Amino acid sequence: MKQFLRWIIWGGTLFFLGKALKDNWIEVIAIRINGVGWGIIAIATVVTLLAHTWAGWIWTWVLQELNQPVSSSQFIQVYLKTNIAKYLPGNIWHYYGRILAAKNANVSAGAATLSVLLEPLLMATAALIIIILFSSKFAANSTTVVGQSLQLLSLAAVLCAIHPRFLNPTIRFLSKLKAKKSDPNTQPSVVLTIKRYPLRPLLGELGFLGLRGIGFILTVFALNSVNWNQIPLLLGAFSCAWLLGLVIPGAPGGLGVFEATAYQLLRHEFPAALVFSAIALYRLVSILAESTGAALAWLHQGLVKS
């Protein structure tokens, strides 16, 4: 059933994007990028690479919150090398690679696993904060009392979910459940707990989403001028599309889901052909930045070993 649902989501998003391209094909091929535009795209790629490097550093903060002191430079390289694996079917192999690398660096298996579970949860919380701040720019129902109440309730629920008072009982329950499945007669000897609210990693993830949003805004700017009053709209719509790409199953790296959501949110405020071209170009910018980050990490590792 899970596999069937994955193919339904994947097929639906591809059909939606294919129809959007067909409807705006003439306008899309008419768009041209001049030399200045290519320079802006290069800057967007560098900013996106910086965002992923920053995210790798935040991962070390999460491990430190779990009392696992690690080398920041080493684990940033691990993060960059494994990041590209999120485009493989299953959308879990980048997490698996990080857990394996952390265990090889003498990080406990529980801390390694918990760190890669907390990271996307903190990212989702940061994205939700940005969405609530700027949702009035791209969602009409967000200005109603009901819409605002639902947003605040959602944010409160997520913020409470990462509080130690709520998170630690969940961790203990999952640890006991895992122990019973492996051997009903044994109990986990050591259960990891969060000592304090992960405020610093959460603020770091806000910075990560901000950098990713800047990369997206620069990509749009490379194709068309952007007014200052349109930046909150672009940042909020980007965060919403990115969040759905993160949480919806069946889309490796959010591929298809991000594009379809961003197109739907922005096509009423910008020309449809411009939106389609910008989100397609930003996907290429993202993949190029992630590939460059992985290549640089491998190259640095090879130079150190030699």
**What pLDDT is recorded for position 133?**
84
In a domain, 163, yes or no: no
Helix 257-266 crosses helix 272-305 at what angle (to 10 degrees)? 140
For residue 295, give the nearest of 121, 43, 55, 80 by alpha carbon.
Answer: 80
pLDDT band, very low/low/confident/very high, at 3 (cuts 50, 70, 90): low
User: Taking all residues of the chain, what is their mean pLDDT, rounded to a whole number?
Assistant: 82
In a domain, 173, yes or no: no
**What pLDDT is recorded for position 27?**
52
State the average pLDDT over residues 179-205: 72
- The number of beta carbons lying within 10 Å of the beta carbon of residue 119 is 22
- The number of beta carbons lying within 10 Å of the beta carbon of residue 250 is 22
pLDDT band, very low/low/confident/very high, at 163 (cuts 50, 70, 90): confident
**Selected residue with higher pLDDT from 170 and 99:** 99
In a domain, 27, yes or no: no
State the average pLDDT over residues 234-251: 87
Q: What radius of gyration do the chain's Cα atoms show?
A: 21
pLDDT > 90? residue 7: no
| pLDDT > 70 in the chain, percent | 79
**What pLDDT is recorded for position 52?**
96
pLDDT > 70? residue 181: no
**What pLDDT is recorded for position 290?**
92
State the average pLDDT over residues 107-124: 89
In sequence order, the 6+-apart residues with CB closer than 8 A to the CB of 190 are 108, 110
**What pLDDT is recorded for position 247?**
85
pLDDT band, very low/low/confident/very high, at 135 (cuts 50, 70, 90): confident
**What pLDDT is recorded for position 76?**
95
What letter represents residue 41's amino acid? I
The token duo for 254 is 């959010």
Q: Are 205 and 54 in contact (CB under 8 A)?
A: no
For 30-60, write each residue's pLDDT tens digit: 567 888 989 999 999 999 999 999 999 999 9
In a domain, 262, yes or no: yes
User: What separation in angstroms does the CA of 45 have from each of 33, 108, 166?
Assistant: 16, 35, 38
**What pLDDT is recorded for position 79?**
95
Q: Residue 234 sits in which domain range?
A: 34-138+202-305
Please state, in angstroms and rounded to a whole number, the distance separating the CA atoms of residues 113 and 97: 11
**What pLDDT is recorded for position 303?**
79
**What pLDDT is recorded for position 256?**
79
Angle at 294 between CA 41 and CA 53, to 5 degrees: 70
For residue 89, give the nearest of 282, 250, 291, 294 by alpha carbon.
Answer: 250
User: What separation in angstroms does the CA of 255 have from each of 11, 31, 77, 250?
Assistant: 12, 23, 24, 9
pLDDT band, very low/low/confident/very high, at 132 (cuts 50, 70, 90): confident
State the average pLDDT over residues 222-234: 91
Residue-wise DSSP of 11-47: HHHHHHHHHHHHHTHHHHHH----HHHHHHHHHHHHH
Q: What is the dihedral of CA 161, 167, 170, 172, to 10 degrees?
A: 180
In a domain, 103, yes or no: yes
In a domain, 257, yes or no: yes
In a domain, 102, yes or no: yes
In a domain, 47, yes or no: yes
Task: Say how many domains are in the chain.
Answer: 1
Q: Which of 147-151, 164-168, 227-231, 284-288 has the highest mean pLDDT?
A: 227-231
**What pLDDT is recorded for position 85?**
85
pLDDT band, very low/low/confident/very high, at 248 (cuts 50, 70, 90): confident
pLDDT > 90? residue 75: yes
